[in-house]
Chains A and B, each alone.
Chain A
């Protein structure tokens, strides 16, 4: 039941937003077509401005991933994560999550294939993935779009939030499904 409700929402969300905003615009006598194109013009420049920032970030993340350093790092911190109830299999996904959304989803799907999505590991990976975001990507794109280089405390706060989200995912999953 719930699944179909969720699917219905995702199916209709975008058409409904498009419909309601343009309809409201017409009611308020906005020249919708002209105004739309005027706004859309900005899309190109914004995307172009993001390129250097995204390149810098993705290259560093790619080098780190390809080197296999993640495996060593996982082994290094495994004793700590075991102590808080995080199975060591989930750890690489947790570490990957802020760096790469695709990478984290790849690891999660690997865990699903190996342990099943309804295992404790599968559920923990799902909750973690669903409750955090790709901090580095968001940072690069958002600040990049306005050419901000000195990001001050944004990254520290973002990573602290990731840590809190991952940690609570572990605790909640263990309480609910452990």
Chain B
């Protein structure tokens, strides 16, 4: 699907720009965004290093393991192909916790750590496992309780009650996350995705 969406965005953009005479803007956007992508990735290095360093301390001290044991009942339901005491679980917990509290900077490094740990259980190099898809779907559905940046923009625009959107946003977030989980579980059972599912490595407990 991602191939079609990617190609679709490109071809629609290019065709429309030719029709409307916007071609120069499209050229600029293509070149400019390629640069932006590198800048964004480079910008990740510092924050990534910070949070992966902190994550390592949390791991070595046993904090991550404690967290994942506490949340094991929920986690093993969501991610049945990850052993309950696998380090991936700890990273998943840290990522979701950071997301819930709106700490986007911290959430990404934890999320990427979780992906790395999940990849260790994957027998293929290039195909997403069911757990990865579930984790991604939860992340892209947004689990943020308090959308701090939206509130900041509202304050800046002179809102008289900038936080009134928190309640409705929490409800909408809950619905979108529930939808993500149901969708990902149902889709993983469909014939197309069941047959492409990569095998998992034998459950190996850490260390």
Contact = CB atoms under 8 A, between A and B. Distances in A.
A77 interface: no
A24 B61 CA distance: 7
Interface in A16-39: 17-18, 21-22, 24-25, 27-28, 30, 32, 35-39
Given A28-B61, A153-B193, A161 B101 contact: no
Nearest to A20: B63
A143 B131 CA distance: 12
B151 interface: yes
A66 B29 contact: yes
Contact of B137 (A59, A148, A154): A154
Contacts, number: 376
B74 interface: no
Contacts of B159: 112, 116-118, 122
B69 interface: no
Interface residues of B, number: 113
6 contacts: A22-B54, A43-B48, A46-B52, A58-B34, A138-B136, A160-B180
Interface of B: 1-2, 5-6, 9-10, 12-14, 16-17, 20, 22, 25-26, 28-30, 32-34, 36-38, 40-42, 44-50, 52-63, 101-103, 106, 108-109, 111-113, 115-116, 118-119, 125-128, 132-133, 135-137, 139-142, 144, 146-151, 153-155, 157-173, 175-180, 183-184, 187-188, 190, 193, 196-197
Given A27-B61, A122-B157, 12 more contacts: A10-B102, A25-B63, A30-B57, A39-B56, A56-B6, A67-B26, A133-B144, A136-B5, A145-B115, A150-B126, A168-B175, A173-B168
